[in-house]
Chains A and B, each alone.
Chain A
């Protein structure tokens, strides 16, 4: 699979990573190299194979842990906001969004 510039632009937008126009070709070439190496997997026969249902499933010997419906967290606004680049009073500030 060879990625074109437009696809790189699209995935960079989806990933919210600004890739300068001048770097698109090189990025496309690099990613294409990795993807074409990955494509050796096409040779693996997976007909009828049940995929793992999560990144994880019971085949990993685990069972999903649940929690009780108890309020035992929250009320830590100072901690939540402690590292904010733009803490505005009790809020996180971001550039204005128009819905």
Chain B
């Protein structure tokens, strides 16, 4: 029998339909891989019983010809999506033991499409981080190693568990969420495809909120086609999220294969700052050439406020987070540390329940919203955000898509010292602008650096135009012939 875990979703879908193997077999193969690679720490909660039960249901539906779009496909769910009856932690101690009585809209849609949940994937605490090192449940290890070295690497973050599971063949795909790059940056680090759709495409209902105006769910898969298949299931209007768009969901998969002939691809000069990693720059140039070779024209463009995006993000996101995380107070769910007074209970609960980085961001967010500082920080950030939006709308008047590197570096070591928070924040320098502007962005694995580590390229398009994004992504994927991991499951 073929190695089931290395199949793509598209291939597995077809083979399941042809009954070459059963959904249960497919699920069991993944459960075995999860067992074997426990050391990656990709999952916070594994749900093998649920997985097997759902796989059996899938087999029954396949038998009766009622297969859904993702029937029998084993997926991991980032532990930021609330799952009914299954512990949901956001990788935080404060939510340890929390069992939602509801299912997030996105995970419900995936379930309704027949997919099989393998478990809840590790992440940076409350999705705050770019390395998956802030998880209360321990860091995730990337399945990748640098050439000739044995030290562990980070999978990126915050969707680090998702990245490790998909690249390491523990799951065929996974959900991620992307607030500042949390899908695209880890996808780049582990050599998979990560898609952050337009803000408003996927319902945020039931996803533990980090920064409401930036958070978007999206798929993480090994191929562009798989991402298109999975995204179609994940998005759609949800009346329970008043920021969810009332738009029909395009058939993203149908857009694939249309090529890029005639498309105008913007190359923003601000993404090539002095000191940009040479290998990253070289790969970007390669990507430009691939698109040209495929018939696209490239256009030099300017996104003047690019360098302001990251500090702007570090006002907006912590401000929203400081408020969004106020509900973790030990009263209705999660951990509580008793106190003599209500305020003491709050302060002790939150001090014990939140980790270092989360506290940092809550304090920053509290500060930038506080009396006397609001105008200097938050209001200023809202103005710059408006300028960034304008940068992109000006650019998309001239081009159909924008190509950039996804991250400024390849994955770094798990034990590399990370004393300077700002240095860590810089991981998201190329991904954050898309979140501030609400536009879709995807990372495609495009090559390896000299150490043999994956590097991704990012494709951005205008709002609601994921179809063009997928077209460009697939051309890059085809040209790159990315050497996927050959780790044997």
List residues of chain B with CB under 8 Å of any chain A CB.
97-99, 101-102, 198-200, 211-214, 239, 241-246, 305, 307-308, 311-312, 314-316, 320, 322, 326, 329-336, 338-348, 350-351, 354, 359-360, 362-364, 366-367, 370, 377, 379-387, 389, 420-422, 438, 463-464
Contact = CB atoms under 8 A, between A and B. Distances in A.
Given A14-B366, A56-B213, A95 B380 contact: no
Nearest to B438: A60
Given A7-B367, A55-B316, 4 more contacts: A27-B363, A38-B377, A55-B211, A97-B342
A97 B345 CA distance: 12
Interface in A5-60: 7-8, 10-19, 27, 30-31, 33-35, 37-42, 44, 46, 49-56, 59-60
A17 B350 contact: yes
B1 to A, nearest CB: 43
Nearest to B313: A38
A17 B354 contact: yes
8 contacts: A19-B351, A41-B384, A56-B199, A60-B389, A67-B242, A83-B97, A83-B334, A97-B342
Contact of B311 (A38, A56, A83, A86): A38
Given A7-B367, A11-B363, A17-B363, A37 B438 contact: no
Nearest to A92: B331
Given A60-B438, A83-B98, A34 B421 contact: yes
B351 A61 contact: no
A33 B420 contact: yes
Contacts of A17: 347, 350-351, 354, 359, 362-363
A95 B311 contact: no
A59 B392 CA distance: 11
Contacts of B421: 30, 33-34
Contacts of A92: 331-332
A31 B363 contact: yes
B200 A16 contact: no
A89 interface: no
Contacts of A66: 242
Contacts of A35: 364, 367
Interface of A: 3, 7-8, 10-19, 27, 30-31, 33-35, 37-42, 44, 46, 49-56, 59-67, 76, 79-80, 82-86, 92, 94-95, 97
Contact of A79 (B101, B312, B351, B381): B101
A61 B99 CA distance: 35
Contacts of A42: 380
B134 to A, nearest CB: 14
A38 B316 CA distance: 11
A20 to B, nearest CB: 8
Given A46-B387, A49-B383, A51-B383, A65 B246 contact: yes
Given A19-B351, A41-B384, A44-B387, A65 B334 contact: no
Contacts of B311: 37-41
A35 B319 CA distance: 13
B312 A60 contact: no
B346 A41 contact: no
Nearest to B382: A51
A34 B438 contact: no
B339 A11 contact: no
B276 to A, nearest CB: 18
Q: Give the interface centre of B199, B359, B383 by most chain A CB atoms within 10 Å.
A: B383
Contacts of B334: 83, 85
Q: Give the interface centre of B99, B212, B243 by most chain A CB atoms within 10 Å.
A: B243
Given A17-B354, A95-B340, A3 B384 contact: no
A94 B342 contact: yes
A62 B244 CA distance: 8
A17 B362 CA distance: 9
Contacts of A12: 347, 363
Nearest to B365: A15
B306 to A, nearest CB: 11
A27 B242 CA distance: 37
A45 to B, nearest CB: 9
Which are the 7 A-B pairs with shortest beta-carbon distances?
A55-B213, A83-B333, A51-B382, A18-B351, A65-B242, A79-B101, A18-B347
A37 to B, nearest CB: 5
Q: Give the interface centre of B354, B359, B380, B420 by most chain A CB atoms within 10 Å.
A: B380
A64 B333 CA distance: 30
A76 B99 CA distance: 15
A11 B380 contact: no
A31 B245 contact: no
A61 B389 CA distance: 11
B422 A33 contact: yes
A59 B209 CA distance: 22
